[in-house]
């Protein structure tokens, strides 16, 4: 699978994207430390980062085209892993059954990893078309590819992760010249409320999750001890950071005093806001913007449709996750457990993100090869 | 754009996605600006409010001592189990009731009541779940810290009255400020808060602002469950000022014992130094135990006992010495004698008035208990001749008696440093009422007022003050219990925001004594009469102490008409006195309700107090060699 690296390829290695991703992840490790200095999350994250970089390097130097060729196999493996969650191998953490514990491998979250096989499968199918307006049949096949992982994730149920899959499909359709552009966009707009409605009706979205969404509409008047608690505390934490943050006064920080829930994962951005202030947060947003720009620039340069779709899917998924996570932290989107790419603590998340970026780098490195 | 050969304008689509991404990031940036820059201070404050908490440290209240430094009231440390509402906001009452009731041996119903009320209160409020916690209770709370973070053990100095019912009316008690008091401007301006302990009744109330300390607090950081993480500041409390009273505990005990030994066990014995108004003793029976009010108000039995005090027809909560009003009977003849001489109705040289066995006013004959001929003033006092005073009263007239009332301040409070003192009722206060009701003030009322009946109902304290003045040539001092307040040192450094300045010690500031004008001869004549009451074969000859000349006057005040004065309506017995007669050091008054003759019941009680006084001075009563010799 590993291709022979030619000199030219090393020359074309996308150092800037790599450095940006590592920089953001390192910044994330610092914030995880700030969140709970006395806990070991940040050291685990360093370990995770090292593992992720190894995986990244392997993927980056591989020829993505061969991997896309093997997409169906990888896709099936992804589905199997997702299925394992529903078997006795599945593990419940914080009341959510989204993890698998396998002998030798350890504990991980398949829904994080399954995004890559799904993207590869979509890229393989839609990248092979010759152009022209998208046929209904093709859309249906794409939807079938999506239905596998999405269905299994909904069965866990992990609404947050499931939602992050939707923009991937939307982006792929959009870039595959769906005939009615507006209709496509509308589909996205319609899809979310529909998913919500179906979720509520089928009981897949639990009562507390509904309340979390409702509280977004009016967090201040909501019972600060009840369902709006997370949102209110997150906003307090962000606002407290002010312009330049609390500068090291971590003993009295919102996360250390446990006012802020899940500070090392879902609310890592609130920790960042508290510790580094507006300046730090905007710097982080700019870093994300720069990273996304690099990905998009790469997508425009690549010579094949499959590579372009891989990069853009990854960029879209990342954008959407960033927006969902920070929007939740800033109190205008519902509290749904979506990790912040490269920042949130969690081996599965950092590993899958770096693997995805590995693909991007791999694609770019071979942009001049045909 | 290499893929651009297709008709789909791929480059445009990619850029569209990029623009959408940037727009989304820009929305986040704008929202960040609003939360962090625009409203940063607001959220900072909210964060601070939820993590910083002030835990009050109660200040020890000043102790109260007698004049010789013996402790009368102090505060002892007790422990309370306190319930805070914040950690149990989301917890059902049912989840806790049984555990608390079992762990702290409390009534489940009471626990439920407390839990329900704490849940209704504001954030960060606390409520005492159990006071006077035992070591077992404390251990239980400490070992369940993780399970029940809402429970906490707090040190609470509790007021303790070691002498129980003795002096209860003088000392008063302390208790939580009432909701009604909290609403009043007077208390609100002083910054009182619910749960504050204030003095209620007696010296505790009168001198509350000096006895009360200034509470300190611990400024702590708490986590989201209200558990204290660290202390970031502490302001030590400043204790209240210690009060040295003028009470002499030995005399007080003697007074209590004497009163308790009377048949009805109802009445008052008070004693003061006639030379300066210092109160040496004040006993009032029946009494109450202030400790019940302090400790018991939170328990069922305690509340029951308190309710019983309030409902008791014998009125144990009321201080007979300053709130009771009684007809003074013949003890009234002392101020009247002063008025007679002063106003010129009689003179030292010509003080004889007829006894006549009584007096005929209109168609009514009011009799004297004996026939005393035509006695001089001093003999009239010694033998308590009613006939003499009927005539003296008529000579003075209602105007003269009114003048006397004003002279001796019977129309005012004595000014003693106790709350809720009542004003005596006298012919002066009754006259407008009587004239309105009956059209005129008839002579018979003047006659009755001559022997301290009918329209004369006075407080024992105002009477003692008047009588004592006769012993010191007319100097009327304001009676008081406060002798000295000790100083208290400051807390913290000057200039510190939490600095509490020290408090100066101070002594009682005597208002200028009121002078009853009388000549030395006039004064001598009255004192001679009073001396005779005890030492000259008078109405209280039985209490004579050889070598210690008591000057006194008995009184037997009618409660009901003659013939009906039996059982519960027996006469009140009075004895007013000072000693030694020529240079008094101590004045003692006894009033015993519904027992009968003053010389038989009140005078012996007073004697007991004098004996205690003499025992203190180390003077043994002399052998009685000259019984009834002088007159």
pLDDT digits (tens, 9 = 90+) for B561-603: 666 666 678 889 999 999 899 999 999 999 999 988 888 899 9
- Which alpha helices (H) appear in chain A, and where do they start and end? 7-11, 15-35, 41-61, 64-69, 71-85, 110-113, 115-127, 136-155, 159-175, 181-202, 207-217, 229-241, 268-301, 305-329, 347-365
User: How far is it, in rounded angstroms, from Cα B253 to Cα B283?
Assistant: 9
Chains A and B form CB pairs within 8 A to the count of: 147
Average pLDDT, integer, range B23-29: 94
Our measurement of the distance from residue B318's CA atom to the centroid of its chain's CA atoms, rounded to an integer in Å, reads 10
Structure letter (DSSP) for residue B424 = P
Average pLDDT, integer, range B77-90: 77
Helix (H) or strand (E) holding B398, with range, is helix B386-407
* Chain A residues 243-302 within an 8 A CB cutoff of chain B: 243, 251-252, 254, 257-259, 273, 277-278, 281-282, 285, 288-289, 292-293, 296, 299-302
Quick check: B29 pLDDT over 90?
A: yes
pLDDT at B2: 44
pLDDT at B4: 44
pLDDT at B184: 82
Q: Do A319 and B50 touch (CB under 8 A)?
A: no
Residues of chain A with pLDDT under 70: 1-11, 95, 130-133, 177-227, 248, 368-370
Nearest-CB residue to A240 (from B28, B47, B229): B47
For B33, left (φ over 0), alpha (ψ -120 to 50), or beta? alpha
User: How far is it, in rounded angstroms, from Cα B66 to Cα B244?
Assistant: 6
Peptide bond into A320 cis (omega under 30): no
Q: B169 CA to chain A: closest CA distance, Å?
A: 49
User: Which residues in A lie closer than 8 A to residue B35 (C-beta atoms)?
Assistant: 235, 238-239, 273, 330-331
Average pLDDT, integer, range B455-464: 93
CA dihedral B575, B576, B578, B580 (to 10 degrees): -40
pLDDT at B298: 66
pLDDT at B629: 41
Mean pLDDT rounded to a whole number for chain B: 86
Q: What angle do CA A332, A334, A337 make, to 5 degrees?
A: 125
Q: Which of A240, A256, A289 to mutate to test the interface with B (most CBs of B within 10 A)?
A: A240
pLDDT at B72: 94
Which residues of B have a catalytic role annotated? Answer: 330
User: Which residues in B lie closer than 8 A to residue A258 (C-beta atoms)?
Assistant: 223-225
pLDDT at B268: 95
Q: Which residues of B52-79 are buried (b: 16+ CB within 10 A; e: fewer)?
A: ebebbbbbbbbbbbbbeeeebbbbeeeb
pTM: 0.71
Closest C-alpha to B585, from B171, B244, B251: B251
| Between B631 and B625, residue with greater pLDDT | B625
Confidence of residue B628 (pLDDT cuts 50, 70, 90): very low
pLDDT digits (tens, 9 = 90+) for B333-372: 999 999 999 998 898 888 888 888 888 887 888 888 888 8
Nearest-CB residue to B21 (from A175, A319, A330): A319
pLDDT at A204: 56
Confidence of residue B122 (pLDDT cuts 50, 70, 90): low
pLDDT digits (tens, 9 = 90+) for B124-159: 667 788 877 888 888 888 888 888 888 888 887 888
Q: Which residues does B24 contact at the CB level (< 8 Å), separation at least 6?
A: A319, A322, A323
User: How far is it, in rounded angstroms, from Cα A213 to Cα A200?
Assistant: 12
* Chain A residues 298-317 within an 8 A CB cutoff of chain B: 299-303, 305, 308, 312, 315-316
Q: ipTM value, please give it.
A: 0.89
pLDDT at A101: 84
Average pLDDT, integer, range B88-114: 81
CB atoms within 10 A of CB A69: 13
User: Which residues in B lie closer than 8 A to residue A331 (C-beta atoms)?
Assistant: 35
Q: Which residue of A has its CA nearest to B52?
A: A252
Share of chain B above pLDDT 90, in %: 39
Q: Go through the domains of chain B in sequence order and give each one's CATH number.
A: 53-165+213-245 (3.90.1310.10), 320-486+501-617 (3.40.710.10)
pLDDT digits (tens, 9 = 90+) for A182-231: 556 656 665 666 666 556 655 556 666 666 666 665 555 554 444 577 88
Q: Are B99 and B148 in contact (CB under 8 A)?
A: yes
Closest C-alpha to B326, from B468, B479, B168, B454: B454
For B484, left (φ over 0), alpha (ψ -120 to 50), or beta? beta
Q: Which of B21, B31, B90, B220 to mutate to test the interface with A (most CBs of A within 10 A)?
A: B21
Helix B460-471 vs helix B520-535: crossing angle, to nearest 10: 110
User: Which residues in A lie closer than 8 A to residue B16 (C-beta atoms)?
Assistant: 174
Structure letter (DSSP) for residue B49 = H
Quick check: B96 pLDDT over 90?
A: no
Sign of CA pseudo-dihedral A238, A242, A243, A245: negative
Give the CA radius of gyration of chain B. 35
Average pLDDT, integer, range B487-505: 83
| Between B231 and A208, residue with greater pLDDT | B231
Which DSSP string do the residues of B72-132 spell out, in sequence order? Answer: EEEEEEEEEEEEESGGGTTS-THHHHHHHHHHTT--HHHHHHHHHHHHHSPTT-EEEEESS
Q: Do B14 and A242 touch (CB under 8 A)?
A: no
Average pLDDT, integer, range B22-36: 94
Sign of CA pseudo-dihedral B204, B205, B206, B212: positive
């Amino acid at each position: 699978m590993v291709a022979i690296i030619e000199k030219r390829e090393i020359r074309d290695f996308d150092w800037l994207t790599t450095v940006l991703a590592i920089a953001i992840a390192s910044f994330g490790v610092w914030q995880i430390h700030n969140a709970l200095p006395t806990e070991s999350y940040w050291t685990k994250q360093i370990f995770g980062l090292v593992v992720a970089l190894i995986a990244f390097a392997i993927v980056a130097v591989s020829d993505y085209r061969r991997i896309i060729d093997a997409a169906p196999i990888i896709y099936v493996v992804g589905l199997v892993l997702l299925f394992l969650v529903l078997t006795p191998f599945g593990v419940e953490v914080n009341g959510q059954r989204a993890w698998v514990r396998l002998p030798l491998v350890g504990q991980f979250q398949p829904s994080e990893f399954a995004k890559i096989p799904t993207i590869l499968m979509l890229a393989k199918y839609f990248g092979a078309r010759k152009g022209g307006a998208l046929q209904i049949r093709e859309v249906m096949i794409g939807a079938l590819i999506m239905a596998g992982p999405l269905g299994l994730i909904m069965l866990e149920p992990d609404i947050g992760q499931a939602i992050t899959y939707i923009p991937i499909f939307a982006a792929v359709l959009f870039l595959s010249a769906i005939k009615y552009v507006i209709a496509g966009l509308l589909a996205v707009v319609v899809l979310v409320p529909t998913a919500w409605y179906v979720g509520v009706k089928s009981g897949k979205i639990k009562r507390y999750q509904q309340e979390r969404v409702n509280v977004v509409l009016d967090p201040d008047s909501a019972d600060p001890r009840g369902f709006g608690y997370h949102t209110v505390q997150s906003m307090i934490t962000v606002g407290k950071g002010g312009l330049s943050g609390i500068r090291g006064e971590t003993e009295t920080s919102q996360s250390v005093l446990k006012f802020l829930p899940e500070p090392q994962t879902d609310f890592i951005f609130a920790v960042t806001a508290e510790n580094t202030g507006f300046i730090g947060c905007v710097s982080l947003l700019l870093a994300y913007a720069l990273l996304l720009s690099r990905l998009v620039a790469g997508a425009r340069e690549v010579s094949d449709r499959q590579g372009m779709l891989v990069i853009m899917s990854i960029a879209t998924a990342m954008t959407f996750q960033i927006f969902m996570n920070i929007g939740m932290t800033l109190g205008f989107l519902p509290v749904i457990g979506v990790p912040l790419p490269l920042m949130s603590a969690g081996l599965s998340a950092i590993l899958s993100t770096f693997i995805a970026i590995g693909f991007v780098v791999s694609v770019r490195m071979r942009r001049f090869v045909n | 754009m290499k893929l651009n050969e297709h008709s789909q304008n791929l480059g445009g689509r990619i850029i569209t996605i990029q623009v959408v991404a940037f727009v989304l990031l820009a929305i986040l940036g704008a929202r960040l600006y609003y939360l962090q820059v625009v409203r940063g201070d607001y959220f900072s404050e909210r964060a601070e409010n939820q993590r910083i908490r002030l835990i009050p440290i109660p200040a020890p209240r000043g102790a109260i001592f007698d004049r010789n430094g013996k402790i009368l009231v102090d505060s002892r440390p007790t422990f309370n189990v306190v319930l805070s509402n914040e950690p149990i906001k989301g917890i059902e009452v049912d989840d806790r009731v049984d555990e608390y009731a079992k762990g702290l041996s409390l009534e489940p119903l009471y626990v439920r009541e407390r839990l329900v009320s704490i849940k209704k209160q504001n954030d960060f409020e606390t409520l005492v779940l159990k006071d006077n916690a035992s070591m077992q209770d404390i251990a239980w709370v400490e070992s369940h810290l993780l399970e029940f973070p809402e429970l906490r053990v707090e040190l609470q100095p509790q007021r303790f009255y070691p002498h129980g019912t003795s002096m209860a009316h003088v000392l008063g008690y302390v208790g939580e400020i009432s909701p009604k008091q909290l609403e009043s401007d007077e208390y609100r301006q002083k910054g009182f808060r619910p749960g504050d302990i204030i003095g209620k009744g007696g010296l505790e109330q009168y001198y509350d602002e000096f006895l009360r300390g200034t509470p300190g607090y611990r400024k702590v950081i708490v986590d989201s469950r209200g558990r204290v993480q660290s202390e970031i500041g502490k302001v030590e409390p400043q204790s209240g000022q210690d009060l040295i009273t003028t009470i002499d505990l030995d005399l007080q005990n003697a007074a209590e014992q004497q009163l308790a030994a009377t048949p009805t066990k109802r009445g008052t014995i008070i004693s003061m130094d006639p030379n300066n108004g210092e109160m040496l003793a004040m006993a009032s029976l029946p009494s109450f135990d202030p400790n019940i009010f302090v400790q018991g108000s939170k328990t069922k039995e305690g509340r029951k006992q308190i309710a019983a005090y309030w409902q008791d027809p014998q009125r144990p909560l009321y201080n007979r010495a300053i709130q009771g009003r009684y007809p003074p009977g013949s003890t009234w003849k002392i101020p009247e004698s002063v008025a007679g001489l002063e106003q010129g109705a009689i003179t030292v040289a010509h003080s004889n008035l007829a006894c006549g066995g009584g007096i005929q006013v209109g168609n009514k004959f009011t009799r004297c208990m004996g026939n005393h001929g035509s006695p001089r003033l001093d003999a009239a006092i010694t033998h308590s001749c009613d006939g003499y005073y009927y005539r003296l009263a008529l000579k003075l007239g209602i105007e003269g008696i009114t003048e006397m009332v004003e002279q001796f301040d019977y129309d005012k409070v004595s000014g003693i440093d106790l709350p809720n003192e009542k004003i005596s009722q006298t012919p002066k206060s009754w006259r407008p009422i009587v004239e309105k009701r009956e059209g005129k003030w008839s002579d018979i009322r003047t006659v009755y007022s001559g022997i301290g009946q009918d329209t004369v109902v006075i407080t024992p304290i105002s009477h003692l003050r008047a009588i004592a003045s006769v012993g010191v040539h007319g100097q009327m001092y304001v009676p008081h219990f406060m002798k000295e307040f000790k100083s208290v040192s400051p807390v913290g450094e000057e200039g510190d925001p939490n600095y509490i300045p020290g408090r100066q010690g101070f002594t009682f500031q005597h208002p200028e004594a009121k002078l009853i004008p009388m000549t030395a001869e006039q004064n001598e004549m009255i004192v001679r009469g009073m001396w005779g009451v005890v030492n000259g074969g008078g109405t209280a000859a039985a209490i004579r102490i050889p070598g210690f000349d008591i000057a006194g006057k008995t009184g037997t005040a009618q409660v009901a008409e003659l013939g009906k004065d039996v059982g519960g309506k027996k006469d009140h017995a009075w004895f007013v006195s000072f000693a030694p007669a020529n240079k008094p050091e101590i004045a003692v008054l006894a009033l015993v309700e519904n027992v009968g003759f003053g010389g038989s019941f009140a005078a012996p009680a007073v004697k007991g107090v004098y004996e205690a006084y003499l025992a203190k001075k180390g003077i043994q009563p002399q052998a009685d060699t000259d019984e009834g010799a002088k007159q």
